Amino acid sequence: EVQLSESGGGLVQPGGSLRLSCAASGFAISNYAMSWVRQAPGKGLEWVSAIGGSGPGTYYADSVRGRFTISRDTSNNTLYLHMNSLRAEDTAVYYCAKRVSILRSGFDSWGQGTLVTVSS
């Protein structure tokens, strides 16, 4: 069974840093494109970042480019999101999501989310 479990959220001051983790089980993250998606309180979904399944490519939303870095550790099957220079507008629940496959669109598995609150 495919499972994703995020951790690392919490309260951080503006300008601070945080690292989110997404532990995967039931599949190898090296074989799939993975993304981070966030949802601010009471708002819609916002795609944040992705890392390619087979290659080293990484992709970012304009709102986080230069501040966030996506990475993965295939030895422990974990996806990360390193967040620097955090702003109030980064406050959201952050989900990790697995793309169905290289050839098929859609995120078919999601974690439960981890809340990041940026506030002084």
Partner 1 sequence: AIQLTQSPSSLSASVGDRVTITCRASHDISTTLVWYQQKSGKAPKFLIYDASSLESGVPSRFSGSGSGTDFTLTITSLQPEDFATYFCQHFYDYPLTFGGGTKVQIK
Of 20-28, 57-65, 69-77, 81-89, the window that binds partner 1 (rule: CB under 8 A) is 57-65
Site membership for partner 1, residue 113 (CB under 8 A): yes
Residue 17's contacts (CB-CB under 8 Å, 6 or more residues apart) are: 82, 83, 84, 85, 86
Site membership for partner 1, residue 9 (CB under 8 A): no
| Interface size with partner 1, residues (CB under 8 A) | 22
| C-alpha–C-alpha distance, residues 65 and 62, integer Å | 5
According to DSSP, the β-strands at 10-12 and 114-118 are parallel
Site membership for partner 1, residue 45 (CB under 8 A): yes
3-class DSSP assignment, residue 45: strand
Site membership for partner 1, residue 27 (CB under 8 A): no
- Where on the chain is the footprint of partner 1 (CB under 8 A)? 35, 37, 44-47, 50, 59-62, 95, 100, 104-108, 110-113
